[in-house]
Structure 1
Amino acid sequence: MRIEIDGAAFEVRSDGPETAPALLLSNSLSSDMTMWEDQLPLWTRHFRVIRYDQRGHGLSAVTAPPYTMERLGRDALAVLDALGIQRAHFCGLSMGGMVGMWLLTHAPDRLDRAVLANTAPYMGPTSLWDGRIAAAENGGMESLAEPTITRWFPQSFREAAPETMARMRAMILRTPVDGYRGSCMAIRDMDQRESIAMAHNPVLVIIGAKDPATTPADGELIAATIPGARTQVLDAAHISNVEQPEAFGTAVLDFLRG
Structure 2
Amino acid sequence: MLLAGVEDRYVETVLGRIRLRVGGSGPAMLFWPSLLMDGTLWSGQVAHFIDRFQVVLVDPPGHGGSTPLTGPFTFEQCADVILAIADDLGAERLHVIGNSWGGMIGGTFAALHPDRTGIAVLMNATASPAGLRQKFEYGVLTRTARLLGGIRGPLTGPVRDAFLGPTAKREKPEVVATVNDLAGRVDIGSGRHAVTSVVPRRPDQRELFQRIRTPVLVVAGAEDTTFGVDETEEMADSIPGARFVVLEQSAHLAALESPTEVNALIDDFLADQGDS
SS in structure 1 opposite 2:19?
strand
For the Cα contact (< 8 Å) 2:33–2:98, is it kept in 1? Answer: yes
Query: Which amino acid in structure 1 is aligned with residue 151 of structure 2?
Result: M
Residue 219 of structure 2 corresponds to residue 213 of structure 1: no
Q: Which residue is equivalent to 1:166?
A: 177
Residue 258 of structure 2 corresponds to residue 248 of structure 1: no
Q: Which residue is equivalent to 1:138?
A: 147
Q: Which residue is equivalent to 2:201?
A: 189
Q: Which residue is equivalent to 1:225?
A: 238
Per-residue deviation, residues 122-164 of structure 1 (Å, max 9, x unmatched): 2223444433332222232134311111122223422322233
Q: Which residue is equivalent to 2:47?
A: 41
For the Cα contact (< 8 Å) 2:166–2:223, is it kept in 1? Answer: no
Per-residue deviation, residues 13-50 of structure 1 (Å, max 9, x unmatched): 21212xx1111111110000000001111111321111
- Structure 1's consecutive aligned runs of 4 or more residues displaced over 6 angstroms after TM superposition are none
- C-alpha distance 256-37 of structure 1, shift in aligned 2 (>3 A): same
Query: Which amino acid in structure 2 is aligned with residue 173 of structure 1?
Result: G
Q: Which residue is equivalent to 2:82?
A: 76
Per-residue deviation, residues 83-103 of structure 1 (Å, max 9, x unmatched): 111211110000000111211
**1:104, CA displacement in angstroms?**
1.7
SS in structure 1 opposite 2:96?
strand
**1:7, CA displacement in angstroms?**
8.0
SS in structure 1 opposite 2:226?
coil
* Structure 1, gaps ≥5 residues long: none
Give the TM-score normalised by structure 1.
0.93
SS in structure 2 opposite 1:206?
strand
Q: How does 1:84-123 map to 2 (within 5 A)?
A: 84-122=90-128, 123=130
**1:223, CA displacement in angstroms?**
1.4
Query: Which amino acid in structure 2 is aligned with residue 244 of structure 1?
Result: S
Output the CA distance in 2 between the equivalents of 1:57 and 1:203.
26
Per-residue deviation, residues 203-236 of structure 1 (Å, max 9, x unmatched): 0001111110111011110111111000111121
Identical-pair percentage: 31
Q: Which moved more, 1:162-171 or 1:219-228?
A: 162-171
Output the CA distance in 2 between the equivalents of 1:218 and 1:237.
14
**1:6, CA displacement in angstroms?**
4.1
State the Cα RMSD in Å. 1.6
Aligned residues: 256
For the Cα contact (< 8 Å) 1:10–1:61, is it kept in 2? Answer: yes
For the Cα contact (< 8 Å) 1:68–1:183, is it kept in 2? Answer: no
For the Cα contact (< 8 Å) 1:43–1:253, is it kept in 2? Answer: no
SS in structure 2 opposite 1:147?
helix
For the Cα contact (< 8 Å) 1:68–1:185, is it kept in 2? Answer: no
Q: Which residue is equivalent to 2:131?
A: 124
Give the TM-score normalised by structure 2.
0.88
**1:70, CA displacement in angstroms?**
1.7
Per-residue deviation, residues 39-90 of structure 1 (Å, max 9, x unmatched): 1111113211111100000000002121221222211111111111121111
* Structure 2, gaps ≥5 residues long: 1-8
